[in-house]
């Protein structure tokens, strides 16, 4: 764990040194999923996760070939999109990958410059800078491909005050389940293929100006059976963090390999969302049917005070209550964090969510990896994919 903290400090120094950020990012703008049935997916994210109806586009707004529902909670915006015709190219994506994340959109001051700077550095273009307008003003968007068929869109919205994007209308719904305290996206993880992690690390460095501020090798992230490697990439101001995973050799199949097999290529593995009251958030999610990975054994909870070390007195949460909800705890030199992982949220064992509450810690729960992966392996065993 000490190793992890050293990397954090080193990484941040590097981030501060890199004052000439050619791609200033203000935050995550939205995450767009391609799904088989956006109407039903929207109902799931409203009911189970407490997202609120925000905006809509489809037949009623003059869009003939696809429908999109936009949901919001805190600063998190999810867009759920489904094609309406067999000729839509979105079907190719769905047939290959199943439901999953297509777009990780980033909020920028200047979408033209973002596209120019990144394509100049080798990014493959997804969409040239495009101005979209309606009665609320204008938005400039551009996009580039990242790993697999996943895309980063750059969204410039300083001249826009509509509900979401031009062409979307406000979505007024009579069904508004209470939000569950999800605040913002803490990080989004990409899974890439065998031996491809360093190539994507370099891509984020060269094309996006990110720095690698934490690394975990297969000696740190392994169980008796399987392993993976991970490097965390961060942009200059530290607001955007994209860990990149690749599978590593073990006695059995790595969970990353299982993902790649079922997603049929690289893609977004999980979205970590922050809360400032994980006990309340997770209790609410469970009550509404969100499924989480099963709890680690008793010994894991017995070891928590030792794992917390100097932060033991700082922890306000009751360990028994955390155990009851299967919440995991990790600590580094700066504090501790609480986290929990859902099961995959679609039929293919691909995308899942993490709920995280940071109490000073800047890591990603390295101390929990073993317990977490053993838990995932028990699920893989049931699926016959270990």
For Fe ion, the binding residues (CB under 5 A) are 272, 354
| Least distance from Fe ion to the Cβ atom of residue 187, Å | 6
Beta strands in the chain (DSSP E): 25-34, 52-57, 66-73, 76-83, 100-108, 125-134, 137-145, 151-160, 169-170, 184-191, 211-216, 227-234, 241-248, 267-274, 328-332, 335-341, 352-359
Q: Measured from the CB of residue 250, what is the shortest distance to Fe ion in angstroms?
A: 20
Nearer to Fe ion, 102 or 241 (CB): 241
Question: Of the candidates 51, 20, 3, which has an alpha carbon nearest to the alpha carbon of residue 185?
Answer: 51
Minimum separation from the CB atom of position 126 to Fe ion (A):
25
- Closest contact distance (angstroms) between CB of 224 and Fe ion is 22
Of 272 and 304, the one with the shorter C-beta distance to Fe ion is 272
Nearer to Fe ion, 136 or 184 (CB): 184
**Helix (H/G/I), strand (E/B), else coil: 224:** coil
Question: How far is it, in rounded angstroms, from Cα 204 to Cα 11?
Answer: 15
- 340 burial (CB, 10 Å; 0-12 / 13-18 / 19+) is buried
Kindly state the smallest distance separating residue 186's Cβ from Fe ion, in Å.
Answer: 8
Closest to 157 measured CA to CA, from 136, 143, 172: 136
- As measured in angstroms, the least distance from the Cβ of 114 to Fe ion is 25
Q: Least distance from C-beta 373 to Fe ion, angstroms?
A: 12
Residue 210's φ and ψ, nearest 5 degrees, are -80, 165
- Nearest distance in Å: CB 213, Fe ion: 14
Burial of 236 from C-beta contacts in 10 A (0-12 / 13-18 / 19+): buried
Which of 156/258 has CB closer to Fe ion? 258
Instruction: Return d(Cα 69, Cα 232) in angstroms, integer.
Output: 31
DSSP result, 227-288: EEEEEEEE-TTS--EEEEEEEE--SS--HHHHHHHHHTS-EEEEEEEE-S-HHHHHHHHHHT
Place of tokens 């049931």: 382
Q: In 3-state terms, what secondary structure has residue 173?
A: coil
Q: Which is nearer to Fe ion, 29 or 354 (CB)?
A: 354
Q: Which is nearer to Fe ion, 50 or 243 (CB)?
A: 243
Sign of torsion over alpha carbons 348, 196, 89, 130: positive
* Least distance between Fe ion and beta carbon 166 (Å): 33
Residue whose CB is less far from Fe ion, 99 or 354:
354
| 158 versus 343: smaller Cβ distance to Fe ion | 343
- Our CB check for Fe ion shows the closer of 80 and 272 to be 272
Closest CB to Fe ion among residues 69, 292: 292
Which residue in the shown chain puts its C-beta closest to Fe ion? 272
In the Cβ-directed half-sphere of 373, how many Cα atoms lie within 13 Å? 26
Query: What is residue 169's DSSP assignment?
Result: E
DSSP 35-64: -S-HHHHHHHHHHHH--EEEEEESGGGT--
Classified as helix, coil or strand, 305 is helix
Kindly state the smallest distance separating residue 124's Cβ from Fe ion, in Å: 26
């Amino acid at each position: 764990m000490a190793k992890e903290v050293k990397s954090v400090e080193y990484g941040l120094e590097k981030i501060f040194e890199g004052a000439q950020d050619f791609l200033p990012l203000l935050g995550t703008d939205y995450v767009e999923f391609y799904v088989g049935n956006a109407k039903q997916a929207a109902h799931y994210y409203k009911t189970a996760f407490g997202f609120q109806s925000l905006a809509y586009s489809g037949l009623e707004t003059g869009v003939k070939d696809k429908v999109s529902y936009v949901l919001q909670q805190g600063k998190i915006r999810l867009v759920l999109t489904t094609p309406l015709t067999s000729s839509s190219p979105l079907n190719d994506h769905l047939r290959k990958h199943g439901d999953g994340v297509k777009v990780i959109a980033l909020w920028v001051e200047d979408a033209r410059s973002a596209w120019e700077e990144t394509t100049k550095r080798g990014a493959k273009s997804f969409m040239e800078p495009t101005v979209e307008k309606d009665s609320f003003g204008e938005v400039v968007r551009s996009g580039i491909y990242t790993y697999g068929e996943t895309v980063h869109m750059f969204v410039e919205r300083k001249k826009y005050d509509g509900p979401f994007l031009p062409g979307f209308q406000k979505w007024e719904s009579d069904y508004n389940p209470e939000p569950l305290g999800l605040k913002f996206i803490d990080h989004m993880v990409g899974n890439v293929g065998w031996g491809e992690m360093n190539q994507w690390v370099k891509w984020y460095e060269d094309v996006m100006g990110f720095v690698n501020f934490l690394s975990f090798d297969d000696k740190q992230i392994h169980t008796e059976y399987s392993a993976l490697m991970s490097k965390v990439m961060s942009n200059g101001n530290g607001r955007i963090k994209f860990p990149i995973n690749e599978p590593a050799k073990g006695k059995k199949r790595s969970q990353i390999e299982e993902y790649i097999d079922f997603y049929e290529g690289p893609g977004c593995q999980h979205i970590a969302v922050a809360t400032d009251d994980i006990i309340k958030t997770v209790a609410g999610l469970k009550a509404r049917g969100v499924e989480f990975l099963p709890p680690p054994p008793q010994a894991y909870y017995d070891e928590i005070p030792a794992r917390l070390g100097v932060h033991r007195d700082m922890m306000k949460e009751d360990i028994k209550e955390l155990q009851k909800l299967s919440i995991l705890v990790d600590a580094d030199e700066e504090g501790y964090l609480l986290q929990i992982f859902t099961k995959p949220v679609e039929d293919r064992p691909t995308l899942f969510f993490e709920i995280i509450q940071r109490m000073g810690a800047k890591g990603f729960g390295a101390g929990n990896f073993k317990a977490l992966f053993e838990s995932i392996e028990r699920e893989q065993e049931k699926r016959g994919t270990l």
